[in-house]
Amino acid sequence: MFGFIAPSTTADKKAKVKIVHSDKLKQSKEIGDNVKLLIGNVQLKHENTIMFCDSAYFYGDSSYVEAFHDIHIIQNDSIHLYGDFLTYYGNTGIAKVRDNVRIEKKDILLTTEFLDFDRIRNVGYYFNKGKVVTGKNVLESIKGYYYPDRSEVVFKDSVVGTNPKYEILSDTLIYNTVSEISGILGPTYIVGDSNLIYSEDGYYDTKLDIGQLQLNGYIQTKGQILRGDTIYYDRNKGLGEVFSNMELEDTVNNMILKGDYGYYNELTEYAFATKRAEMLQVYSGDTLFMHADTLEAVPLPQDSSRLLKAYHGVKFFRKDMQGRCDSMVFDFRDSVNTFYQNPVIWVQGNQMTAQEIKLYSKNQVLNKAVLLNSAFIVAPEDSIHFNQIKGKDMTGYIRNNQIYKIDVDGNGQTVYYPKDNEYVIGVNRAESSNLTIELEGRSITGIKMRVDPKGNINPPYILPEEQVRLKGFMWLEDLRPKTRTDIFKELNMPENIQYENVYRDYKFSDIEENE
């Protein structure tokens, strides 16, 4: 695409530099053999190039010229080159201009102290700092190449571009002075008041404020970092759209959204991820990994907060908690996680199911679980015995990631296995409209029955299975995600857990209104 410009090796032997005008002309041995000294309003011409200066030494045989003061070169009637000192090689078309150098064209002003201009290739090269002003953009670098025919400048080494909205810092940049598009060819930062953009390949349109980041690109705002293989960015809309390996890191809430496609709006703070979507949430040094078909972060401007929505095929894994459901909403306002449509949650060996489950956290620590409609908790006592709690609604209180108390509201039923040391000594069934159950580990240590209590205890192993399994009992251990990669496994729920409930055809807009 570009490279360092070496002097042309093609000799132009036919066309010579011509003297058009000079107020005075001197020629002597002191000046040199075949050397003319031109003084005053000097004008020279070489093909389609005209040169003006105050004075010059003209070397006739070699078409070599040294010119001084008020240098003005006109190339193709469109490019104007100025400086204080010029050496011009007519045979190669190389003009070396020094001191107070500037190139002017209708779409650009280039200034430097050292410039070599190849008239044949129509390219200028500066090598000891230069500055280009075009439109509202000012770009500077140590080295640079200006291609007037292409309206293009290649900036190399310590590139700094300034604009009323941002600053560009780069290693290598190609800039088109007509379209005002910057081509990114190396590590490049675009620093604005509200964000930082980085990429090592791609482009940025400084006129339309859109760009594409194609290598190691990211966009960093006050609390978010958006990464991806390819990022399309629209500054006016605040939109960053990611194709392949999208990752949005929320540095305030210690959360990361991932997907093979997604976008983030830095103005509205709305985020979307799909195609192998995943959410990572850090809790007190541990990380929760969640997968769903689609993930959304929905801002709530009136509360300076947001909702995180996951829907269709939700599965999550954390070392001390796992779960699955159809859809989930996390409300950052009160740290409440609500699971919809056939949720199953495992907490330290306790399996919880209901038509809807809410998990409450305080200081990023789980402290309460509320199970609504058809609530059921199962905990294995050993390989063949299962403690069970069932009711209309339940509230489980959690301490150190262990359920230590459960309140059952409506149609409360329990089956549990008392132990003497390590041995099961019986099976206890109890029923009451309202129950409070105390637990230690996964073992029931006490039950308070408040309304219409009923209960019995039987020796172990003598009751048939249907009498030690509450109606609706299911042990779904095979569906539990046991590693972070299990959240991507496709496992179907058994048909008999497909509740007919009011949440089957819910809309997220309805949920948001009810929150």
The reported pLDDT for the residue numbered 315 is: 95
More confident residue, 275 or 76: 275
Q: Band of the pLDDT at 130, cuts 50, 70, 90? A: very high
Q: How far apart are CA 122 and CA 150, in angstroms?
A: 10
Q: Tokens standing for 256?
A: 């990361």
In a domain, 214, yes or no: no
The confidence band for 384, taking pLDDT boundaries of 50, 70 and 90, is confident
Domain that holds residue 412: 343-485
Residue 279 domain-assigned (yes or no): no
Query: Does residue 175 fall inside a structural domain?
Result: no
Look at residue 385 and tell me if it is in a domain: yes
Q: How many CB atoms lie within 10 A of CB 498?
A: 11
By the 10 Å C-beta count (0-12 exposed, 13-18 middle, 19+ buried), 183 is classed as: middle
- Whichever domain contains 88, its CATH number is 2.60.450.10
Task: Note the pLDDT of residue 502.
Answer: 31
Please report which confidence band the pLDDT of residue 491 belongs to, taking 50, 70 and 90 as the band edges. Answer: confident
What pLDDT score was predicted for residue 91? Answer: 87
Band of pLDDT at residue 14, cut at 50, 70 and 90:
low
Task: Pull the structure tokens for residue 509.
Answer: 């807009």
Q: Which two tokens stand for residue 289?
A: 């990994």
Residue 5: what pLDDT?
39
Two tokens, residue 101: 């150098």
Distance separating alpha carbons of residues 300 and 311, to the nearest angstrom? 19
Indicate the residue among 94, 121, 148 that finishes a domain. 121
**pLDDT tops 50 at residue 141:** yes
The single residue listed with the structure tokens 């089957």 is: 504
Q: Which residue has the higher pLDDT, 432 or 426?
A: 432
Report pLDDT digits (tens) over 267-319. Answer: 999 999 999 999 998 876 788 999 999 999 999 988 888 899 999 999 999 98
Q: Which residue has the tokens 């008392």?
A: 418
Query: Rounded to an integer, what distance in angstroms lies between the CA atom of residue 240 and that of residue 249?
Result: 13
Task: Please state the rounded mean pLDDT for residues 28-42.
Answer: 88
* Domain end position, chosen among 121, 138, 161: 121
What is the reported pLDDT for 442? Answer: 66
* Residue-wise pLDDT tens digits, 439-489: 887 667 778 887 666 766 666 666 666 678 888 899 999 999 999 999 998
Other residues' Cβ atoms within 10 Å of the Cβ of residue 512: 14
Burial 130-153 (b: 16+ CB within 10 A, else e): bbbbbeebbbbbebbbbbbeebbb
511, pLDDT greater than 60 = no
* DSSP structure string for 317-367: EETTEEEEEEEEEEETTTTEEEEESS-EEEETTEEEE-SEEEEEEETTEEE
Residue 37 has pLDDT above 90, yes or no: yes
User: For the chain, how many structural domains are there in total?
Assistant: 2
What pLDDT is attached to residue 326? Answer: 93
Residue 351 resides in a domain: yes
The answer on pLDDT for 381 being more than 90 is no
Q: How buried is 496 (Cβ within 10 angstroms: 0-12 exposed, 13-18 middle, 19+ buried)?
A: exposed
Instruction: Supply the pLDDT for residue 54.
Output: 96
Asked if residue 514 is part of any domain, the answer here is no
The 10s digit of each residue's pLDDT in 323-380 is 999 999 999 888 899 999 989 999 888 899 999 999 998 877 888 999 999 999 998 8
**Cα 267 to Cα 222: distance, rounded to the nearest angstrom:** 11
Which uninterrupted H or E stretch holds 510?
A: helix 508-514
Query: Is the pLDDT higher at 504 or at 9?
Result: 9
- Cα separation, 442 vs 416, whole angstroms: 10
Which of 67, 94, 121 is the C-terminal boundary of a domain? Answer: 121
Residue 17 amino acid letter: V
Place of tokens 């541990």: 286
Give residue 327's pLDDT.
95
The tokens describing 319, both together, are 């070392």
Map tokens 């070396």 to a residue: 96
Q: Which of the listed ranges 189-193, 380-384, 424-428, 449-453 does the model predict with the highest average pLDDT?
A: 189-193
Q: Pick from 381, 375, 398: which is nearest to 473 by CA? A: 375
Domain of 367: which CATH number? 2.60.450
Closest CA to 140 of 128, 150, 152, 131: 131
332, β-bridge pairs: none
The stretch 107-123 carries a mean pLDDT of 93
- Contacts of residue 208, defined as CB under 8 A and 6 or more positions apart, other chains included, come to 236
**356 is a domain residue:** yes
Rounded average pLDDT over 250-254: 86
117 assigned to some structural domain: yes
